[in-house]
Amino acid sequence: MSTSIEAQKVRVLHGTQPTSTTPQTRGMERRPGIDGNTAGAKRIWMGHVTCVPNELGPPHHHGEAETAAYVLSGHVRVYFGEDYKEYVDAGPGDYIFVPAHLPHIEGNVTDEPAEAVLTRSPDNIVVNLGE
Protein backbone atom coordinates (compact mmCIF):
# COMPACT_ATOMS: atom_id res chain seq x y z
CA MET A 1 0.00 0.00 0.00
CA SER A 2 1.54 3.29 -1.01
CA THR A 3 0.94 6.58 0.81
CA SER A 4 1.99 10.01 -0.22
CA ILE A 5 4.65 11.94 1.67
CA GLU A 6 2.00 14.61 2.40
CA ALA A 7 -0.18 12.06 4.20
CA GLN A 8 2.76 11.20 6.45
CA LYS A 9 3.38 14.74 7.72
CA VAL A 10 3.06 15.54 11.42
CA ARG A 11 0.89 18.61 11.87
CA VAL A 12 0.31 21.08 14.69
CA LEU A 13 -3.04 22.82 14.58
CA HIS A 14 -3.46 25.97 16.61
CA GLY A 15 -6.92 26.26 18.14
CA THR A 16 -10.23 24.89 16.96
CA GLN A 17 -12.46 25.52 13.97
CA PRO A 18 -15.94 27.12 13.98
CA THR A 19 -18.89 25.03 15.15
CA SER A 20 -20.42 25.32 11.68
CA THR A 21 -17.84 22.85 10.33
CA THR A 22 -19.14 19.85 12.35
CA PRO A 23 -22.53 18.38 13.42
CA GLN A 24 -24.03 19.81 16.62
CA THR A 25 -26.72 19.09 19.20
CA ARG A 26 -28.42 21.61 21.48
CA GLY A 27 -26.55 22.49 24.67
CA MET A 28 -23.12 21.29 23.53
CA GLU A 29 -20.86 23.30 21.28
CA ARG A 30 -18.46 20.99 19.43
CA ARG A 31 -15.44 22.70 17.84
CA PRO A 32 -13.20 20.48 15.72
CA GLY A 33 -9.45 20.44 16.19
CA ILE A 34 -8.43 17.32 14.25
CA ASP A 35 -10.64 16.09 11.42
CA GLY A 36 -10.63 15.58 7.68
CA ASN A 37 -10.72 19.31 6.98
CA THR A 38 -8.06 20.46 9.44
CA ALA A 39 -5.52 17.65 9.27
CA GLY A 40 -6.66 15.28 6.53
CA ALA A 41 -7.64 12.71 9.19
CA LYS A 42 -9.52 9.75 7.76
CA ARG A 43 -10.42 7.72 10.86
CA ILE A 44 -10.60 10.13 13.80
CA TRP A 45 -12.32 13.33 14.90
CA MET A 46 -11.05 15.27 17.92
CA GLY A 47 -12.29 18.53 19.30
CA HIS A 48 -13.22 20.72 22.23
CA VAL A 49 -16.75 20.73 23.60
CA THR A 50 -18.40 23.21 25.93
CA CYS A 51 -21.63 22.41 27.73
CA VAL A 52 -23.87 25.27 28.80
CA PRO A 53 -25.30 25.11 32.34
CA ASN A 54 -28.65 23.39 32.94
CA GLU A 55 -29.09 22.15 29.38
CA LEU A 56 -29.61 18.69 27.90
CA GLY A 57 -29.39 17.91 24.22
CA PRO A 58 -31.86 15.81 22.24
CA PRO A 59 -31.71 12.02 21.98
CA HIS A 60 -29.09 10.99 19.42
CA HIS A 61 -26.39 8.46 18.60
CA HIS A 62 -23.13 8.54 16.71
CA GLY A 63 -23.67 5.79 14.17
CA GLU A 64 -20.59 3.63 13.74
CA ALA A 65 -18.44 6.09 15.70
CA GLU A 66 -17.19 5.27 19.18
CA THR A 67 -16.90 8.32 21.43
CA ALA A 68 -14.37 9.08 24.14
CA ALA A 69 -14.30 12.26 26.21
CA TYR A 70 -12.05 13.70 28.89
CA VAL A 71 -13.73 16.21 31.20
CA LEU A 72 -11.59 19.30 31.78
CA SER A 73 -13.96 21.27 34.00
CA GLY A 74 -17.53 21.20 35.26
CA HIS A 75 -19.75 18.13 35.08
CA VAL A 76 -21.24 16.19 32.19
CA ARG A 77 -24.18 13.79 32.46
CA VAL A 78 -25.03 11.12 29.87
CA TYR A 79 -28.45 9.42 29.94
CA PHE A 80 -28.89 6.08 28.14
CA GLY A 81 -30.78 2.78 28.33
CA GLU A 82 -34.51 2.13 28.26
CA ASP A 83 -36.35 5.48 28.21
CA TYR A 84 -33.00 7.12 29.08
CA LYS A 85 -33.47 6.22 32.75
CA GLU A 86 -29.85 5.24 33.35
CA TYR A 87 -27.13 7.86 33.56
CA VAL A 88 -23.51 8.50 34.43
CA ASP A 89 -21.97 11.70 35.75
CA ALA A 90 -18.39 12.71 35.01
CA GLY A 91 -16.31 15.53 36.43
CA PRO A 92 -12.83 16.98 35.99
CA GLY A 93 -10.27 14.27 35.27
CA ASP A 94 -12.90 11.66 34.35
CA TYR A 95 -13.11 9.84 31.03
CA ILE A 96 -16.40 8.90 29.34
CA PHE A 97 -16.87 6.17 26.74
CA VAL A 98 -20.03 5.92 24.60
CA PRO A 99 -20.28 2.83 22.36
CA ALA A 100 -21.21 3.12 18.68
CA HIS A 101 -24.94 3.23 17.84
CA LEU A 102 -25.98 3.77 21.51
CA PRO A 103 -28.86 6.25 21.77
CA HIS A 104 -28.18 8.74 24.55
CA ILE A 105 -28.79 12.26 25.84
CA GLU A 106 -25.90 14.32 27.14
CA GLY A 107 -25.57 17.64 28.81
CA ASN A 108 -24.88 19.61 31.93
CA VAL A 109 -27.33 19.52 34.86
CA THR A 110 -25.37 21.99 37.02
CA ASP A 111 -25.22 25.79 37.23
CA GLU A 112 -21.59 25.88 36.01
CA PRO A 113 -20.35 25.46 32.41
CA ALA A 114 -18.45 22.30 31.52
CA GLU A 115 -15.61 21.61 29.08
CA ALA A 116 -14.25 18.39 27.63
CA VAL A 117 -11.93 17.07 24.95
CA LEU A 118 -13.94 14.82 22.65
CA THR A 119 -12.71 12.14 20.25
CA ARG A 120 -14.71 10.04 17.81
CA SER A 121 -13.64 7.35 15.43
CA PRO A 122 -14.08 7.21 12.49
CA ASP A 123 -15.66 10.72 12.40
CA ASN A 124 -18.00 13.11 14.25
CA ILE A 125 -21.20 11.37 13.22
CA VAL A 126 -24.31 12.80 14.92
CA VAL A 127 -27.70 11.21 14.22
CA ASN A 128 -30.42 13.21 15.99
CA LEU A 129 -33.37 11.03 16.98
CA GLY A 130 -35.90 13.81 17.66
CA GLU A 131 -37.28 15.01 20.95
Query: Is 27 within the bounds of a domain?
Result: no
Instruction: Judge whether 9 lies within some domain.
Output: no
Mean pLDDT by 10 residues, the chain (131 residues): 62 74 73 86 91 92 96 97 96 97 95 96 86 58
pLDDT at 94: 98
Segments forming the whole domain that contains residue 112: 43-131
String of b and e for 56-79 (b: at least 16 CB within 10 Å)?
Answer: bbebbbbeebebebebeebbbbbb
Instruction: Assess if residue 77 is contained within a domain.
Output: yes
In a domain, 32, yes or no: no
CATH number, position 49: 2.60.120.10
Answer yes or no: is 114 within a domain. Answer: yes
Q: How many domains does the chain have?
A: 1
Distance in angstroms (rounded) separating the CA atoms of residues 49 and 119: 10
Task: Note whether 7 and 39 are within 8 A (CB).
Answer: no
